[in-house]
Amino acid sequence: MAEACRRYGVDRDMPQIVAVTKRLGPEVIRPLLEAGHRLFGENKVQEAQDKWPELKAAFPDVRLHLIGPLQSNKARDAVALFDGIESLDREKIARRVAREMAEQARAPTLMVQVNTGEEPQKSGCLPTDLADFLDLCRAELGLNIAGLMCIPPVDDDPALHFALLKTLAERHGVPQVSMGMSADYPLAAALGADYVRIGTALFGARPTA
């Protein structure tokens, strides 16, 4: 990441690395915890519930982000377990998360996922709906939106999507962006990512689902 920033002439602090541990067991995760890494990402609530309570008990300052889509019937469990939710993307979820945060007196870091490629099969708020959705989250639900997150379409140049996400964040006064995965995190760092989400480049290939 530092090398990419130098190459692009960007002088900045490096993004935080969300180590993505989906489909990986505790035996793979523990060495990274023991080495001192404290920020992790999982894409499924149920799977995270199966493996993280024990790891969090052993490493209480760990922070766990939900980076996959959230269903409203999982909002309670997600708010209880995760320290960050990167995938807020629609009214129903935002309302449930807000309610659970109040009931559980929990305040995970919240980010809105933006479907920058406007792909029908992908979750995320459409760029054209973002202003209204942020307005609902902030004004009506009183949520602090700390970041925007995107997953670019596989066949597109990710730079376009990273630049768009950064522009949207600036335009709407959202302080941080989560963008970049194993294939493109150096570029994301150079284009202003605050969080990069990295699985394969840290752990090697995952078992298939």
Ligand X SMILES: *Cc1c(COP(=O)(O)O)cnc(C)c1O
Candidates 3-11, 77-85, 136-144, 192-200: pick the segment binding ligand X (CB under 6 A).
192-200
Comparing CB distances to ligand X, the nearer of 32 and 136 is 32
Name the minimum Å distance from CB 40 to ligand X. 11
β-strand pairing of 176-178 with 145-149: parallel
174, 181, 187, 189: residue in contact with ligand X (rule CB under 6 A): 181
Distance CA 168, CA 164 (A): 6
Name the minimum Å distance from CB 138 to ligand X. 24
Name the minimum Å distance from CB 17 to ligand X. 10
- The residue among 82, 165, 75 whose CA lies nearest residue 117 is 165
1, 145, 151, 168: residue in contact with ligand X (rule CB under 6 A): 151
Name the minimum Å distance from CB 42 to ligand X. 9
The phi, psi pair for 6, rounded to 5°, reads: -60, -45
Regarding 198 and contact with ligand X (CB under 6 A), the answer is yes
Q: What is the dihedral of CA 170, 171, 177, 181, to 10 degrees?
A: -110
Regarding 72 and contact with ligand X (CB under 6 A), the answer is no
Distance CA 169, CA 161 (A): 12
Regarding 65 and contact with ligand X (CB under 6 A), the answer is no
Burial class (CB in 10 A: 0-12, 13-18, 19+), 60: exposed
The phi, psi pair for 139, rounded to 5°, reads: -75, -45
Dmax of the chain from CA atoms? 48
Name the minimum Å distance from CB 199 to ligand X. 3
Regarding 161 and contact with ligand X (CB under 6 A), the answer is no
Regarding 43 and contact with ligand X (CB under 6 A), the answer is yes
What's the helix, strand, coil split of the chain in %, to 5?
45, 20, 40
Candidates 1-9, 47-55, 102-110, 198-206: pick the segment binding ligand X (CB under 6 A).
198-206
The footprint of ligand X (CB under 6 A) covers 20, 22, 43, 67-68, 151, 181-182, 197-201
